[in-house]
Amino acid sequence: MIKVVQPRVERVNYPRYRQAVYDAVRGLASREYRDSKWRRVIDDSYEDFMSAIDELYDGTAVFPNPSTAVGSAIFANEIAPFLDMYTSVEAMLSDLGEGPWDYDVDVSRWHEVERTAGVVARLMARNGGLD
């Protein structure tokens, strides 16, 4: 069996992308953010949420396949935690359906997004390459 080992990337080519990813992840990892924006989802917070989600999917293309962002915005050792976060975000988005939403968001889904985003945020901070 051949084992493919990805070389360690010491820096990213697009540090602004990395910072944008980190800011979006940190917002989703913050209980205070969730409590202020998502206790009751309203139009303003819907826009805040969608900008964070759009950054991860469209702005930096970390989701749905984080491995494509290695070297541009993330490091190779961040792939697995990003995949876990992607799974939790997708589960929450699937439950929510189309927004904006005028009902309480399932707290168990938020806890999982918060947990997985927290793991990613801490790893990104430890790996560096942020402003």
Of the pLDDT bands very low, low, confident and very high (cuts 50, 70, 90), residue 109 is: confident
Give the span between the Cα atoms of 121 and 124, in whole angstroms. Answer: 5
Question: pTM for this structure?
Answer: 0.81
Asked whether residue 115 carries a pLDDT value surpassing 80, the answer given is yes
9-13, 18-22, 32-36, range with the lowest pLDDT: 32-36
